[in-house]
Amino acid sequence: MASLLTRTKSIDRLMADSGASGESGLKRTLGAWSLVGLGIGAIIGAGLFVRTAAAIAERAGPSVTLAFIVAGIGCAFAGLCYAEFASMIPIAGSAYTYSYTTMGELVAWIIGWDLVLEYAVGAATVAIAWSQYLNNLLGILGVSPVPYQWSHSAFEVSASGVHGLMNLPAVFILGVLSLVLVRGTQESALLNGIIVITKVCIVLMVIAIGWGFIVPANHVPYIPEPSTFTTAQGVTHAYGGIMGVLGAAGVVFFAYIGFDAVSTAAQEAKNPSRDMPIGILGSLVICTILYVLFAHVLSGVASVEFFRGAGGEASVAKAIETYFIGYGWLAKFVTVAILAGFSSVILVMLLGQSRVFYSMSRDGLVPKIFSDTHPKYRTPWKSNLLFFCFTSLFAGFLPDSIVGEMTSIGTLFAFILVCIGILILRSKRPELERAFRVPAVNIVAPLGVITCGAMIYGLGWTNWVRLAVWLAIGLVIYFAYSQKHSLLNKG
């Protein structure tokens, strides 16, 4: 049984197969600063504009700035490990493929199942945020917003006592973008560049303009005394103190999801050993500085009570409307730009999820339906439609606080396994060619495990239980189906 659970895919065979399918032989065209730009574009997204307010209100108050620093450090350690994997195994499938070649099929399955939390549940989280900013835009335009009961989950209740039923706008945007993926999409470099510039401009404008509206009293005390806070859903979190900062780090970690896009470009870097550390660490340092300044302004212009009440949804736009006197136009611009940015993030997350399950289906670990392609569009259309149904359940019937934290804890768990995998591969296959090697790997990889583990600890027992239940469901599926249908099992 042990050999069945730890059987691995041969790296040599994997590379040979990738060569046959055209996945290798990538042209080295990216310099260090190109990688930094790629990282900034991938990192700045939905998490900053949504989860920051939740971290302020429920976990850390103004010390949310420290939480961004902790989360950035954890990403740096994991990112370096990702880069070494990507330089050795430039194959589709991300951490799933890396784990299959190092730690065995069972761990690979756990990673693949865990990535559903990062991509599919992450897409649901952003869809809920999209719904919030849509209602805010409708209000700005003088149009009646979607009624509360049809734009919120059954776990949410308005200040006037209206109970939510289902978040229809979130389900709508997931449906539209799933159909786009079925039809097939080819990203435009020009459009992507415009979106990246717009996102960075939003952050810089909020920092520059908002700095003059900071109320120093909102930053006192900077680290609140340890206490507890109970959400509207009845979940109690540690607030203030060290546990508050660690919990907030786990919450705002969502804002860093996507940074591993830099590591996937290792085979296209001109000088990987020099450019990869600059690309990963450079983009993380720049984004962390922007995040800290943004969070400092946001927590300074409005009180914690504001984010626990009226500013809990569409928080950035609401803060601008309420406290940036004379800048009503900025709220409109930010809302429209964020809606467009959210749409692209959802599209990429749904695309990433279908790609991971496509790889798993090709390995026999999930049914063939996930790798069936459309006869005309050549896209995994059945997989896209199935994941639309799945993500709709999360987006339509759960609040963003639950799905957002599930996404963070799932991704943190995947990062821990990647850090462990690098240590295993250094021991088992030291002879493999590595275009990039993690510096001081015996220090960096364990620190990655410790930092990500600390953030998981800070997220609290409710999220541990959710992760454990999710993994238990995955193990049942593995032993009931995947183990027997695995291509490795069939030789």
Average pLDDT over every residue of 397-417: 90
Contact 304, 248 (CB under 8 A): no
Instruction: Give which of 59, 65, 62 is closest to 227, Cα–Cα.
Output: 59
Rounded to the nearest 10 degrees, the angle between the axes of helix 105-140 and helix 315-323 is 30
Question: Quick one: pLDDT at residue 135?
Answer: 93
> Does residue 5 register a pLDDT over 70?
no
Q: What gap in Å lies between CA 124 and CA 258, rounded to an integer?
A: 15
More confident residue, 20 or 233: 233
Which residue reads 């569009």 in tokens?
Answer: 377
The domain ranges of the chain are 27-485
Instruction: Give which of 56, 456, 463 is closest to 239, Cα–Cα.
Output: 56
Question: Quick one: pLDDT at residue 200?
Answer: 86
Q: What angle do CA 81, 352, 21 make, to 5 degrees?
A: 85
Residues in the chain, how many?
491
Q: Residue 401 belongs to what H/E stretch?
A: helix 400-428
Question: Quick one: pLDDT at residue 396?
Answer: 96
Non-local (6+) Cβ contacts of 164 within 8 A are 148, 149, 151, 152, 153, 154, 155, 156, 157, 158
Residue 336 CB burial class (10 angstroms; 0-12, 13-18, ≥19): middle
Q: Are strands 227-230 and 236-239 parallel, antiparallel or unpaired?
A: antiparallel
**pLDDT tens per residue, range 83-95:** 888 777 655 556 7
Rounded to the nearest 10 degrees, the angle between the axes of helix 441-458 and helix 64-88 is 130
Average pLDDT over every residue of 431-441: 87
Q: What gap in Å lies between CA 75 and CA 66, rounded to an integer?
A: 14
Average pLDDT over every residue of 163-177: 95
Instruction: Give which of 19, 9, 86 is closest to 279, Cα–Cα.
Output: 86
Q: What gap in Å lies between CA 485 and CA 363, rounded to an integer?
A: 9
Give CATH superfamily name and number for 27-485: Amino acid/polyamine transporter I (1.20.1740.10)
Question: Quick one: pLDDT at residue 93?
Answer: 53
More confident residue, 431 or 102: 431
pTM as predicted: 0.86
Which tokens sit at 459?
């997220």
Q: What gap in Å lies between CA 155 and CA 468, rounded to an integer?
A: 22
> Does residue 243 register a pLDDT over 90?
yes
More confident residue, 266 or 322: 322
Contact 30, 269 (CB under 8 A): yes
Contact 84, 321 (CB under 8 A): no
> Does residue 18 register a pLDDT over 70?
no
pLDDT level of residue 343 (50, 70, 90 thresholds): confident
- Mean pLDDT for all residues in the chain: 86
pLDDT > 90: what percent of the chain?
48
pLDDT level of residue 98 (50, 70, 90 thresholds): confident
Which tokens sit at 41?
């574009």
Question: Quick one: pLDDT at residue 7?
Answer: 77
**pLDDT tens per residue, range 137-157:** 998 888 999 999 999 998 898
Contact 167, 131 (CB under 8 A): yes
> Does residue 24 register a pLDDT over 60?
no
Contact 133, 400 (CB under 8 A): no
Give the lowest-confidence range in 64-68, 410-414, 430-434: 430-434
Contact 345, 192 (CB under 8 A): no
Output DSSP code: residue 144: P
Question: Quick one: pLDDT at residue 16?
Answer: 62
